[in-house]
Amino acid sequence: MRKKGLKVLFLMMALALIIVGCGTKENAKEENAKKESSKNESSEVTTGASEGSSYTPLAELKDSYDIVIVGSGGAGMSAALEAKEKGLNPVIFEKMAVVGGNTLKSSSGMNASETKFQKEEGISDSNDLFYEETLAGGHGTNDPEMLRFFVDHSADAIDWLDSMGIRLNNLTITGGMKEKRTHRPEDGSAVGQYLVNGLIKNVQEKDIPVFVNADVKEITEKDDQVNGVKVQFDHKEDKTIKADAVVVTTGGFGANMEMISETNPELKDYVTTNQIGSTGDGIKMIEKLGGYTVDMKEIQIHPTVQQEKSYLIGEVVRGEGAILVSSTGERFVNELDTRDAVSSAVNQTPDKFAYLIFDSGVKERAKAIEQYEKLGFVVEGQTLAELAKEINVPDTALEATVGKWNEDVAAKSDTAFNRTTGMEHDLSKGPYYAIKIAPGIHYTMGGIKVNPETEVLTKEGTSIKGLYAAGELTGGLHGENRIGGNSVAEIIIFGRQAGIKSAEFVHSLK
- Concatenate the DSSP letters of all residues of 353-390 into one string: -EEEEEEHHHHHH-THHHHHHHTT--EEESSHHHHHHH
Check pLDDT > 90 for residue 151.
yes
User: What pLDDT is recorded for position 18?
Assistant: 40
- Whole-number average pLDDT of the chain: 91
Q: What is the mean pLDDT of residues 481-506?
A: 97
pLDDT tier, 53 (very low <50, low <70, confident <90, very high otherwise): low
**Residues 174-196: what's their mean pLDDT?**
93
Give me the residue spans of the domains in the chain: 58-298+445-509, 302-441
Residues 6+ apart with CB under 8 A from 409: 321, 423, 424, 425, 426, 427
Catalytic residue (choose from 184, 318, 331, 339): 339
**CA angle, 328 then 330 then 331, to 5°:** 140
Omega into 209 within 30° of 0, i.e. cis? no
The pLDDT score that the predictor gives to residue 19 is 38
Can you give the three-state secondary structure of 133-145, one letter per residue? Answer: HHHHHCCCCCCHH
More confident residue, 235 or 293: 293
Q: Which residue has the higher pLDDT, 11 or 171?
A: 171
| pLDDT tens string 105-147 | 998 899 999 999 999 999 999 999 999 999 999 999 999 999 9
Check if 331 is active-site: no
Cα-based angle 361, 370, 105 (whole degrees, multiple of 5): 120
Query: What's the Rg (C-alpha) of the chain?
Result: 26
> Per residue in 294-337, pLDDT tens?
999 999 999 999 999 999 999 999 999 999 999 999 999 999 99
Q: Range with the lowest mean pLDDT among 5-9, 331-335, 388-392?
A: 5-9
The better pLDDT of the pair 435, 1 is held by 435
Q: Do domains 58-298+445-509 and 302-441 have the same CATH topology?
A: no
CATH of 58-298+445-509, one of 3.90.1150.10, 3.40.50.920, 3.50.50.60, 3.40.50.720: 3.50.50.60
pLDDT-based confidence at 510, cuts 50/70/90? confident
Alpha-carbon gap, residue 398 to 410, rounded angstroms: 18
Q: How far apart are CA 139 and CA 141, in angstroms?
A: 6
What DSSP line would sit under 134-189, residue for residue?
Answer: HHHHTTT-S-HHHHHHHHHTHHHHHHHHHHTT----EEE--TT-SS--EEE-TT--
What lies within 8 Å, CB to CB, of 98 at 6+ separation is 43, 46, 49, 50, 51, 53, 212
User: If pLDDT is split at 50, 70 and 90, which confidence band does 43 have?
Assistant: very low
Average pLDDT rounded to a whole number, residues 244-271 = 96
Specify whether the CB–CB gap between 206 and 223 falls below 8 A.
Answer: no
How large is the average pLDDT for residues 480-499? 97
Q: Say yes or no to pLDDT of 68 above 50.
A: yes
Whether pLDDT at 506 is above 80: yes
Q: Could you read off the pLDDT of 396-438 as tens digits, one per residue? A: 999 999 999 999 999 999 999 999 999 999 999 999 999 999 9
CATH class (in words) of the domain with range 302-441: alpha beta
Percentage of the residues of the chain whose pLDDT score is greater than 90? 85
pLDDT at 10 over 80: no
DSSP single-letter state for residue 291: B
Q: For position 189, what pLDDT does the model report?
A: 87
Rounded Cα–Cα distance for residues 324 and 171 (Å): 22
Residue 7: CB atoms within 10 Å: 10
Cα separation of 275 and 346, whole Å? 24
Please give, one letter per residue, the 3-state secondary structure of 1-12: CHHHHHHHHHHH
Q: How far apart are CA 147 and CA 457, in angstroms?
A: 17
* Full-model pTM: 0.84
> How high is the pLDDT of residue 36?
38
Tell me what pLDDT residue 54 has: 86
